[in-house]
Amino acid sequence: MSSPGVELSPRVRGSLAALSLGALGVVFGDIGTSPLYSLQTVFSADGFAVKPIDADVYGVLSLVFWTITLVVTIEFVIFIMRADNDGEGGIMALIALVQTTIIKRPWLKPALVAAGLFGVALFFGDGMITPAISVMSAVSGLKVAAPAAAHLVVPITLVVLTGLFMIQRFGTNLVGKLFGPVMVIWFLIIGLVGLVQVLHDPVILKALLPTYAVGFFINHLGISFIALGSVVLTITGTEALYADMGHFGRPAISRAWFLLVFPTLTLNYMGQGSLILDKPSAISNPFFILFPDWAQLPMVVLATIATVIASQAVISGAFSVAKQATRLGFMPRMTIRQTSNTEIGQVYAPAINWGLFVAVVALVVAFGSSAALAAAYGIAVTGTLTIDTILFLVVVRKLWQKPIWMVVVGGAIFLTVNFLFLAANFTKILHGGWFPVAIGVILLMVMLTWNRGRKHVTEIRAEREGSLRDFLHEIETMDPPAVTVPGTAVYLNAHRETAPMALRGAVGFNHAIHDQIVILSMQTTNMPFVPDEERLTVDELGYTGDNIVHLTAKLGFKDTPDVPHLIELAKEEGLDPSIDVENATYFLSHLEVVPGGPFEMAGWRKRIYVALSRNASSPTDYFCLPADRTVTIGSQMAL
């Protein structure tokens, strides 16, 4: 945002307006469709139902408004979104920032990273629940608009979701251009219908006062605490505000939030509350009943489109997070495809896509209604937001070096709110809340198992490979000398200081080396992207011959490891221009892992690691290598 008193140029204003429009289509889909089910869930909760009377309705509306204000507006938009990693946001960015901090207690940083990974796992759980509850909530409007078609809610939901997941492989570039305008229409309509109801009963605006929320808590402690578990549904998608910051920037997201999203959401919630007081039976579905009869069926269609957009944002986020986790070493290699020639953030992960699809279909069939799914939703949301807050406070203190009193005050306010919502949602464990917790625990164990096993295998591999400089010296002193064969060979190796096993095999068994040899090592940094001018280092390693060179490539955790492109780029940085990339042969060293070795890790975790290793995507695809010119040389080790 511009500084006070500084006027933005027309070009900057135009660019910011375009980014704000794009943010509306991607960032706010989830939180923007929360009115479909949030208040309905609050007033239809079994056992501890909030009554459609003045005190309860005013108290709930006040809780909703101040929850959105404190958590979304103040905590995330104003504060947490300031914590970016080279412009990128989200929980993976916070993990990367925490890894760069200096923390005296040796156990604390791994514990914080593990907590962050649990938040990532909960985000995947969110990615399973969001499409199911959002689309089902929209289609459930049929029960209001056309009651005779109520039995079609689940089948239509499954058809819409199947279509959504099937089109993922085509990318969202073209469809994405329509997302912003559609969501503008959505927000304007839900704000307008809320405004009409508020003008009919303007006294409802008293609910904006925090005294009603406080009074509701004091007078109905048990019911209000349980109600928090449903009120939190009004802030689903808050993580998306932060996670998508790299695509649109903080100014664009902030502008869209303050100028359109926040006001229209507030008006709609106020309008629903007023309707419930005027017509208590409306608690069955206050969102759709708020519209006149003639508009209800068109709103079912618009709401379905809006929830597809909301689901798309979460699914795309899951692809992006999976890519980042893979590059940071917390998940095995998987096929990641770019779906746009211009937008690096638009990717498609087939394994994640179809895994989510199976889970989403199972949720829709098992729970059968959006109200039942709402019980499973809150824990995923509050768990992720609480972990975001903890990691942010660590960054504020350890990385930004802010005074301790500031961290304590911020923590006292934000963590109190987050823990209240988290505790309220734990009351839902037996009613579906167990699902995201189970998903989170399973995925966390998988990520930690993969990371630990990968580090051990990497150490063993380095021992077997031995020193690269010593091996080059052996080549120089071979008697008789190794035979030189024509062509360029590129050897991929994990370590800069060790000799690729494939190269050792070629020299040891064939007593031959290629005319031109490039040994390429790649390092993943804690930055999302590395500029081309800082990406490559060419090192001849003191080798007296002129046919072997070492290349080190630095990649951000969101960069694509395109090896042929890196070799071409290296020519501009001093690599021999005569190296023929188009006809080069690429050599990979594959280490097959089997369980049964001396490594101190539980047997079942070893088996998980081995299974993940065997099912990892082909390194040929992962490194963008030409399949007809790639050779893999393997060996085996026991974990």
Give the domains, in start order, of the chain with CATH numbers. Answer: 19-451 (1.20.1740.10), 466-638 (no CATH)
Q: Cβ-count burial of 475 within 10 angstroms (0-12 exposed, 13-18 middle, 19+ buried)?
A: middle
Instruction: Give the DSSP letter of residue 495.
Output: -
Residue 171: the pLDDT is 64
Residue type, 279: K
Give DSSP secondary structure letters for 515-556. EEEEEEEEEE-SSS---GGGTEEEE-TT-SSSSEEEEEEEE-
Residue 205: the pLDDT is 95
Give DSSP secondary structure letters for 583-604. T-EEEEEEEEEES-SS-SS-HH
Buried/exposed 558-584: b ≥16 CB within 10 Å, e otherwise = bbbbbbbebbebbeeeebeeebebeeb
Each residue of 142-190: pLDDT tens digit? 888 888 888 889 999 999 999 988 888 776 555 556 678 899 999 999 9
Q: Cβ-count burial of 94 within 10 angstroms (0-12 exposed, 13-18 middle, 19+ buried)?
A: buried
Residue 520: the pLDDT is 92
What's the sign of the alpha-carbon dihedral 232, 235, 238, 239?
positive
248 SS3 class:
helix
| pTM greater than 0.85 (yes/no) | no
H runs (alpha helix) in 34-107: 38-43, 54-67, 91-99
Residue 172: the pLDDT is 54
Q: What percent of the chain has pLDDT over 90?
A: 39
Are residues 267 and 195 in contact, defined by beta-carbon separation less than 8 angstroms? Answer: yes
Torsion-angle region of 464 (φ positive above 0: left; ψ -120 to 50: alpha; else: beta): alpha
Q: What percent of the chain has pLDDT over 70?
A: 93
Residue type, 566: L
Determine the average pLDDT of the residues in 506-523: 87
Q: Give the number of other CB atoms < 10 A from CB of residue 444.
A: 19
Torsion-angle region of 543 (φ positive above 0: left; ψ -120 to 50: alpha; else: beta): beta
Residue 277: the pLDDT is 94
Q: Give the number of other CB atoms < 10 A from CB of residue 82.
A: 15
Residue 17: the pLDDT is 78
pLDDT bucket at 494, cuts 50 / 70 / 90: confident
496 SS3 class:
coil
Token pair, residue 336, equals 């990641």
C-alpha angle 553-559-564 in degrees, rounded to nearest 5: 55
Each residue of 330-381: pLDDT tens digit? 999 888 776 655 455 567 788 889 999 999 999 999 888 777 787 777 888 8
Q: Give the number of other CB atoms < 10 A from CB of residue 494.
A: 17
Are residues 101 and 399 in contact, defined by beta-carbon separation less than 8 angstroms? Answer: yes
| Cis preceding-peptide flag for 480 (omega within 30 of 0) | yes
